[in-house]
Structure 1
Amino acid sequence: MAPATTSELTTIPAVVSRSGGPLKGEDSLADAIMPAPGAPTGHDILVDVKAVSVNPVDVKIRAGAGGPTDDRVLGWDASGIVLAVGDAVTGYQVGDEVYYAGALGRPGTYAKWHLVDERIVGRKPATLTHAEAAALPLTTITAWEALFDKLKLDASSTGTLLVLGAAGGVGSIMIQLAKALTGVKVIATASRDESRAWVSELGADAMVDHSAADFEEQVLREAPGGVDYVFSPQSKGRMPFFVAVTRPFGQIVAIDDEKDLDFMALKGKSISWHWEFMFARPMHGWDLEAQRELLDKASELIDAGALRTTLTKTYSPIDADQLRKAHADVETGHAVGKIVVAAES
């Protein structure tokens, strides 16, 4: 059956957060019927959403809402098909398959149709299904910006990169990008058999157990004198560890929201600290095309066999029950790779 045209639907199904809070609340995630987005204008494209992935940001925003949220549509990863384009759009046309991570200040992707700025959208890898593609955008942008915009790594880079939380969404693609596009040795942290097998499969050169009492010693055995680069998804309480395992003039890039960090502890070794926030570009309208370019480059690498999807679990269809399951998985903090909810199984 051919998909409905934008003039045929005035309402669309969506999953909304009405009250936020714990998943056990009926309105934390609920099925809803909403007005369909209007025709795209400017740089916007209208996408028929085929799959979404659930990220920690989805869980954080849902759980952090303590009251009415006006039926907020969450979701910042999607893969789908272009239904219509705005008058300023030059990169896409109706029928194109795309993948992207959206913007915090706009309605999310847990809906049948979604408006997004073409300048932060990439062409879906031709070799992947929509579910496989939806696992990638947010984490790929985060890892890419961390490695190449913040740490300034390139094909000539050597040394050691310590990836904390390596089996998670960002770590899973960061390992692959570092091995495909740089010359660094990747030391991945993993504490369970499942996560160790996963990071090894993705190409990590060495593994250390972050739950072990001798975690610090394990890192220094792999990188005598200290690692050159550290990626941190969770920095709370780790500043002494960072100082101990990072070499003088080393660099750390973090993506969490920890506010109470002792940055002065880094001064003795002249260690640099970087924040990575992949929503910064769309939030401030800054160099938007850079996200499209990097997603397109990642798509090329995937189709060439240099990168692979990080999808490990798929739920279907896209409704409140299935998204609730995905949120529950992510909330455990032990999910390996990425969890996707697809329109069709």
Structure 2
Amino acid sequence: MRTRSVFLAVALAVSLGACAAPDEAPKVAAAAAVKINDGPDQNRIVPARVDAAAALVPERIRATGKLTIGVGAAGSGFPPLAFTATDNKTLIGNEPDIAVAVAGVLGLEPQLANTSWEGLFIGLDSGRYDLGASNITVTEQRKQKYDFVSYRKDDLAFEVKKGSALKVAAPKDVAGKKVAVGSGTNQEKILVEWSKQDVANGLPAVDIKYYQTNQATYLALGSGQIDAYLGPNPTAAYHVATAGQTEIAGTCSGAGSALPGLIALTTKKDNGLVQALKAALDELIRSGAYARILGRWNLTAEAVTAGEVNPPGLPIEGK
């Protein structure tokens, strides 16, 4: 087993309801060094079955004794949320840890499946996966097809080359800038809306760029082909800490406004599983296992106090 010592950036410990550049963010003490175990032996927290929660699982799933879980970590993945261990096959990170713990409470054997972002939703639609645990943001459009139980705040970050003068706190700050974003993601929708606001205010549109892989995005950022990359705050802060070549220019809610964005366990709508997922998450929060899992990946600042079934979703359309 190999461990990696990293000093996770202050950005990972900052959770904001609206956008703010670093100089405007609340002052937070820097996090201490955290040892990240990226080997295949994860020694995950697997709670004992809780009968009251397990009884809520639909019979068709209970009969299999398994919970199939789609995790969108194809390619290089998204540390510290979901990525492959040093054996290049074992799924690790906060998202699989939460899903495995939920399965434990429900008395089910977790079956983790590494898939693409698109494949994750295809799998949920077809019933191949009972559950999606992959940094999925709750949106009003997605609620038409899926049921959700929120388990983490959705914060985003603008990552820039180290030494960049760019600070981002509002749409005007990226007017005319070249900003990369993942296609089909909630952050893409936010960036498109910001660009529209800039144009409406007489400013240049955001020059939105797309790359197939994280590696290609970071090569473009390092070479100056783009000014910034908008992605999940935990992933950006992890990269800042481990690569040492970039920094956070600003963070914001996944809503792109004061409306809080939420990350949720996701299941096919009306398949009967959502109340069991809520009961399991609430048990993890009550027992302290939830806090220990988030703390392991230095995501404590994004914790919620209770899971919500189908909470208000972002008005921005998601994929």
Q: TM-score w.r.t. structure 2 length?
A: 0.32
Greater gyration radius: 1
Taking structure 1 as the reference length, the TM-score comes to 0.31
